[in-house]
Amino acid sequence: MRPWMKTALTIMLLGTILFPRNVASQNASPVTNAPPAYPDSEAGLKLLLENIFEAVPANDEGKMSLYFSNLEFPNRDAWFAKTFGLEEGARLEAKYVEMLPHENEGIKKMFDYALKEQRTIVSVRATHRAEEIQGL
């Protein structure tokens, strides 16, 4: 996953802290498949978000769980350490891990809100920090 995607997802996941975690599970379907793979690109992130916007109103818990799992940080310990430093990175990663079991509920609430407010047009644009571009 590219750094810009990680940053965008960090903002999205940290934003779930603001929402209560009391969404009831309805029509839960078993999750037996591996998470779908999305290209590591703007188009891949856009497709993932569009798929989530389709699964949420259908209340398809199985699909939502698979899609939401694509939002988790791969190699999160290294990413947090690199982005926030060793000490702060470890603290934030521990908080992230603590929150993971409840994240699907918070993410679903954000998408429910966007659907309610008819804010469902997905537009993705990559931004890069200067130090990330220099390594290309």
**What's residue 31's pLDDT?**
46
| DSSP collapsed to 3 states, the chain | CCHHHHHHHHHHHHHHHHCCCCCCCCCCCCCCCCCCCCCCCHHHHHHHHHHHHHHHHHCCHHHHHHHHHCCCCCCHHHHHHHHHCHHHHHHHHHHHHHHHHHHHHHHHHHHHHHHHCCCCCCCCCCCCCHHHHHCC
Q: What is the pLDDT of residues 80-118, one digit of tens each?
A: 999 999 999 999 999 999 988 888 898 999 999 999 999
Q: What is the pLDDT of residues 6-21, one digit of tens each?
A: 555 555 544 443 333 3
* pLDDT of 25 higher than 50: no
Domain positions in the chain are: 3-19+35-134
**What's residue 102's pLDDT?**
85
* pLDDT of 123 higher than 60: yes
